[in-house]
């Protein structure tokens, strides 16, 4: 749930127009708060941070790329996708092994 609500919150970010539109801004903030609450609940239940955060550090950016392409018509190229994917993988790797 933590990942899903954060991804839906990310989907709302462009709609907030820099947090100047009240309704999308409130929805976006509520979704992020629910995601953070779910994350806190997972850690309370004993999920190790050493496993949880590397997964989130890799999954959320990768799926954010998909959201940008699918919902907002962001341009894509093989180079752009390759670099963004590699960056996400490296973030997850660095979070896991640092």
Contact 92, 58 (CB under 8 A): yes
CB hemisphere CA count around 19 (13 angstroms)? 5
pLDDT at 5: 94
The number of angstroms, rounded, from the C-alpha of 3 to the middle of its chain's C-alpha atoms is: 7
The pLDDT value recorded for residue 93 is 79
* Residue 39 DSSP symbol: H
pLDDT tens string 75-95: 888 898 888 888 888 877 787
pTM: 0.78
Query: What burial class does residue 7 get, using C-beta atoms within 10 Å of its C-beta: 0-12 exposed, 13-18 middle, 19+ buried?
Result: middle
Residue 21 is given by DSSP the state S
Could you list the mean pLDDT of each consecutive 10-residue stretch along the chain, which spans 98 residues? 92 94 96 94 86 81 87 87 85 76
């Amino acid at each position: 749930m933590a990942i899903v609500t954060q991804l839906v919150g990310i989907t709302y970010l462009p709609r907030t127009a820099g947090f100047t539109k009240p309704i999308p801004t409130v929805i976006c903030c509520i979704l992020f708060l629910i995601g953070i609450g779910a994350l806190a609940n997972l850690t309370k239940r004993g999920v190790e941070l050493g496993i949880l955060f590397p997964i989130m550090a890799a999954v959320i950016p990768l799926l954010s790329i998909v959201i940008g392409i699918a919902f907002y018509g962001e341009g894509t190229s093989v180079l752009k996708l390759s670099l963004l994917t590699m960056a996400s993988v490296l973030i997850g790797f660095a979070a896991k092994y640092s």
